[in-house]
Amino acid sequence: MAGHRHPLFARFYARTSTLMERRLAAHRRSLLDGLTGRVIEVGAGPGANFAHYPPEVTGVLAVEPEPHLRGLAQTAARHAPVPVEVIDGIAERLPADDASCDAAVASLVLCSVTDPAAALAEMRRVLKPGGRLRFFEHVAAEAPARRRVQKSLDATVWPLLGGGCHAGRDTAGAIERAGFTLTHLERLGRADTGMPFPAAPQIIGTATAPGERP
Ligand SMILES: C[S@@+](CC[C@H](N)C(=O)[O-])C[C@H]1O[C@@H](n2cnc3c(N)ncnc32)[C@H](O)[C@@H]1O
C-alpha cells in the first residue's frame, strides 16, 4: 500500500519479533484464546499471531500494508492451523463488508496506524453486532514524567525509527471513544513481555461492539 513502505523497519521488526516471540507467544495465545468464526486481523506484520489461532476460527482475513512484512505473513499463513488469507490494505479502510466478522484482532498496531479513531471505526463497521475486538497494545505510561518522555519521542524520532509507531497513545480510551465496551483489560509491563520503555506498559484485553450477538 502506497505510503506504507518501511523497508528498514520491516526487516528490523521481522528479526526482533522472532527474538521476542519466546516472551510474546503466551500473550498472543491469550489474545486469541476462545475466538470462533471469521476473524479480521489488522496490521498482521510478519504473521506472528497466525500459529496461535484456535481451531474454532473458520478463517482469518489478515490485512497488512507493508510489502516485506506482507510477504512474510503470506509464508506464515501457509503453516497456520486455520485458513488465513493475507491481503494488502490499511486499517483506516478495511477491505471487508459491514458486519462480516465475528472478531477483530489488533496487536501492536494501534500505535502505528495514522488515524486510530478511523481504524477503530472501521473495526466496528466490519464486526457483527456484539462482535469482539481483541487487542494487545503498548500504551502511554501512567507516570507523568514517563508520559512526557513518550510524547516528546512521538514528536521527534520514534515514528521515524518505528515505522510510524507512537509510544504515548491512550489506546484503551480510543477504543471506548469508538463505541466499544471494554469487558476485560489487563496491564502488562517489561517483566511480562520483555518489551522495554518507551514501548511499555502494554494492555491486553477484549472490547465488545454495540448490539446483541446473533
Ligand atoms: C509493530 S508491527 C506489529 C505487527 C503484528 N501485528 C504483531 O503483532 O507482531 C506494526 C504493524 O502495523 C502495520 N501498520 C502500520 N500502519 C498501518 C495501517 N494504517 N493499517 C494497517 N496496518 C498498519 C505495519 O505495517 C506493521 O506490520
pLDDT in tens, 152-205: 999 999 999 999 999 999 999 999 999 999 999 999 999 999 999 999 999 999
Q: Is 195 in the pocket of ligand 1 (CB under 6 A)?
A: no
pLDDT at 9: 84
pLDDT at 19: 81
CB under 8 Å to 25, separation ≥6 — which residues?
52
Note whether residue 138 is domain-resident.
Answer: yes
Rounded Cα distance, 92 and 117, in Å: 8
The percentage of residues in the chain with a pLDDT greater than 70, rounded to a whole number, is 99
Note whether residue 164 is domain-resident.
Answer: yes
Grid coordinates representing 93 are 479502510
Q: Is 114 in the pocket of ligand 1 (CB under 6 A)?
A: yes
Mean pLDDT of 11-15: 84
As for how many domains the chain has, the answer is: 1
Note whether residue 171 is domain-resident.
Answer: yes
pLDDT in tens, 45-91: 999 999 999 999 999 999 999 999 999 999 999 999 999 999 999 99
Note whether residue 1 is domain-resident.
Answer: no
Q: Is 24 in the pocket of ligand 1 (CB under 6 A)?
A: no
Note whether residue 214 is domain-resident.
Answer: no
Q: Is 168 in the pocket of ligand 1 (CB under 6 A)?
A: no
Q: Is the pLDDT at 3 greater than 80, yes or no?
A: no
pLDDT in tens, 94-142: 999 999 999 999 999 999 999 999 999 999 999 999 999 999 999 999 9
Note whether residue 213 is domain-resident.
Answer: no
Q: Is 113 in the pocket of ligand 1 (CB under 6 A)?
A: yes
- Which strand (E) or helix (H) includes residue 70? helix 67-78
Note whether residue 41 is domain-resident.
Answer: yes
Q: Is the pLDDT at 1 greater than 70, yes or no?
A: no
Question: Comparing 87 with 9, which gets the higher pLDDT?
Answer: 87
Instruction: Give the closest residue (by CA) to ligand 1 atom 25.
Output: 66
Mean pLDDT of 23-50: 97
Quick one: pLDDT band at residue 7, thresholds 50, 70, 90? confident
Give start and end residues of each alpha helix (H) in 103-213.
116-126, 144-154, 158-161, 171-177, 190-193
Residue in 4, 9, 112 to alter for ligand 1 test, most ligand atoms within 8 A of Cβ: 112
Q: Is 198 in the pocket of ligand 1 (CB under 6 A)?
A: no
CB under 8 Å to 61, separation ≥6 — which residues?
38, 39, 40, 41, 85, 87, 95, 96, 101
| Residue 126 belongs to domain spanning | 7-208
171 Cα: distance to centroid of ligand 1 (angstroms): 15
CATH number at residue 110: 3.40.50.150
Note whether residue 192 is domain-resident.
Answer: yes
